[in-house]
């Protein structure tokens, strides 16, 4: 597969693993990943949170690393990118209030480009109204939002992922191997479709 230019939309208290791991893994295999946050510039950081599963009724949350952004949200054009990654954590909760973020997310669906969202990333998908009739995994607490947006919630193992057309979703960071593998398959399939057109 040819190297892709991938946009990652993130924000303060994004989930640490769900930001760091795909950012580094996708670059390790030759892709360019631009991590952006509305209101911040390249070189600035977002705070991350570490969500863990330790036997409580919901995940626990601890302060994570500072994650350095390498592009400026105000300067990007979604049309310049081949694919989109939406990490989970707490960032999607407030990012979904930003009209420019929602417009960027819609671009990838309108153009049928690959999109990978994990955990609470479904909150952005729901707010952008792009999942009606689509099968979507997310952290279980996001199930009502997926269903209220017309999506079909995929109740899968925490280390599983699901692909529906251009959309690859997973419930949480234990799914990274499956989620990233399916995302790379979706990007390769988009290449094949483009070449056949």
Contacts of 99 (CB under 8 A, 6+ apart): none
pTM summary value: 0.96
Task: Give me the active site residues, please.
Answer: 119-120
Query: pLDDT, tens digit, for every residue of 111-127?
Result: 999 999 999 999 999 99
Query: pLDDT, tens digit, for every residue of 142-172?
Result: 999 999 999 999 999 999 999 999 999 999 9
Q: Quick one: 30 exposed, middle or buried, by C-beta within 10 A (0-12, 13-18, 19+)?
A: exposed
Taking CA 147 as the corner, what is the angle to CA 103 and CA 7, rounded to the nearest 5 degrees? Answer: 30
């Amino acid at each position: 597969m040819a190297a892709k230019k991938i946009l990652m939309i993130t924000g303060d208290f994004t989930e640490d693993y769900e930001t760091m791991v795909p950012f580094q893994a996708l670059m390790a295999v030759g892709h360019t990943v631009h991590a952006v946050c509305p209101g911040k510039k390249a070189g600035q950081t977002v705070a991350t949170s570490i969500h863990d599963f330790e036997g409580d009724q919901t995940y626990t949350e601890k302060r994570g690393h500072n994650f350095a952004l390498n592009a400026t949200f105000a300067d990007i054009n979604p049309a310049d990118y081949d694919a989109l990654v939406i990490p989970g954590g707490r960032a999607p909760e407030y990012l979904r209030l930003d009209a420019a973020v929602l417009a960027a997310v819609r671009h990838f669906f309108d153009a049928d480009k690959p999109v990978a969202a994990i955990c609470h990333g479904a909150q952005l998908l729901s707010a952008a109204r792009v999942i009606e009739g689509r099968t979507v995994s997310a952290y279980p607490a996001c199930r009502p939002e997926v269903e209220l947006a017309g999506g079909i919630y995929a109740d899968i193992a925490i280390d599983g992922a699901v692909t529906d057309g251009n959309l690859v979703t997973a419930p949480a960071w234990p799914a990274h191997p499956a989620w990233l593998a399916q995302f790379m398959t979706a990007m390769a399939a988009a290449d094949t479709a483009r070449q056949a057109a």
